[in-house]
Amino acid sequence: MRLIGTILALALAVVSATADAKVSVSTRYRSPKNPDRRVRASTTLIVLHTTEAPAKGSLRRLSERGEAHYCVAEDGMVYQIVDRHRVAFHAGCSMWNGREDVDDFSIGIECVGYHDKAMPLVQLLSIRALVEELQAYYSIPDENVVTHSMVAYANPNKWQKKKCRGRKRCGMLFAMPSVRRILGLASRHSCDPDVRARRLVSADDYLAKVLYGNTDTMRSTYDGVKLPASVTGGGTGKVAASAAGGPRKTRPSRSFSYVPQSIPQLRAQGFESIGTVTRSNLPIRIAGDAWNAPDTYYTIRAKVLPGNILDPQHVEEGMNVWRRKGAR
């Protein structure tokens, strides 16, 4: 079979990529490091970062180094940097619940802005939509949507004789209850598991109060903010509160089942073949804008590939494209 990736890449030059079912994603800053990055064995955390710099320079740096999976700009645009199933080098020296090298089991989302400054609502709503898609896809609970400051640590140095938490305040605002309500996150961890287990010591008391206490410098900005009913799932447009006092989680309307591993499993989940890839019949012609959606699948030589991890450079003639019955 012949690779037709170059043809597909040219065809996609004028198509807006949609790597996630509910979130419009641009690949303008896709990292050249992407093909060299290994596939993660597991994904149990989503780590939120702040760029601490403007968008243009941040996007260029993230792309050059492959330092995040996504970057969300102030206007709400989401840029994919590294394919979400691969390792991105976003966490650096890091530990969570005794496990080091957080890059190996997490998704990293950079958000243009600063750890101690409010972000535009349109940006927060894009972050919310992206996080919800990733949570649904990887079955990640709300409390495992953490900040970079929660997982980063420093080795012993002249200021601290022990390994310590507090190396960065990156993403700090995403731990604040008022911001997490906007993001639809109903819970967070009540303490640092590594400090509690004495694997690390806390070297930033203020940071610890923000991450796990009641300090919320964004409360006056975000409390009472009205959200679109399409976001909250209700008619008032306000963040819905649960009986426990926290926000009630609103999940995406699309639910993700397990990823099929074979053609019989595809058929059992209600998928059907809608076309075969040729030089004149490309994926975008067969499946339209859903060509790289997570619920579009490609099969060839007994392999099953979800559309969202399909590398355009490795599309082959003879691939069958699968969609759920009635999805077209």
Domain regions of the chain by residue span: 22-232, 263-324
Cβ–Cβ under 8 Å, residues 156 and 162: yes
Locate tokens 């976001």: which residue?
231
What's the whole-number average pLDDT of the chain? 84
Residue 96 is predicted with a pLDDT of 98
> In the prediction, which pLDDT does 227 show?
81
Q: What are phi and psi of 226, to 5 degrees?
A: -90, 135
| Residue 290, pLDDT score | 86
Q: What is the pLDDT of residues 155-176, one digit of tens each?
A: 998 888 899 999 999 999 999 9
Instruction: Assess contact for 43 and 133: CB atoms under 8 A.
Output: no
The 3-state DSSP class for residue 247 equals: strand
8 A C-beta contact, residue 79 and residue 70: yes
Q: Determine the Cα angle at 29 with ends 24 and 35, to 5°.
A: 105
For residue 7, pLDDT beyond 80: no
Identify the band that residue 275 occupies on the pLDDT scale cut at 50, 70 and 90. Answer: very high
278-317, pLDDT tens digit by residue?
989 999 899 988 888 878 999 998 888 888 777 777 789 9
The answer to which of 11-15, 43-47, 92-96, 285-289 has the lowest mean pLDDT is 11-15
3-state secondary structure of 276: strand
What are 145's two structure tokens?
A: 């949507």
* pLDDT tens sequence across 167-213: 999 999 999 999 999 999 999 999 999 999 999 999 999 999 999 99
Q: What's the pLDDT at 232?
A: 66
213-222 pLDDT per residue, tens: 989 999 999 9
Closest CA to 52 of 111, 109, 110, 114: 114
For 95, 182, 218, 291, 295, the CA distances from 318, given in Å and listed in that order, are: 44, 45, 54, 15, 19
Q: Are strands 78-80 and 25-26 parallel, antiparallel or unpaired?
A: parallel
Q: What is the pTM of this model?
A: 0.68
Q: What percent of the chain is predicted at pLDDT more than 70? A: 84
Report, as an integer, the average pLDDT of 7-11.
Answer: 48
Average pLDDT over residues 89-96: 97
| Cα R_g (the chain), whole angstroms | 21
Q: Which CATH architecture has domain 22-232?
A: 3-Layer(aba) Sandwich (3.40)
How confident is the model over 223-274, as pLDDT tens digits? 888 787 767 665 433 333 333 333 334 444 333 234 677 888 888 888 999 9
Pairing of strands 164-165, 201-202: parallel
pLDDT at 236: 37
Q: And the tokens for 32? A: 């050249």
Residue 70: per-residue pLDDT:
96
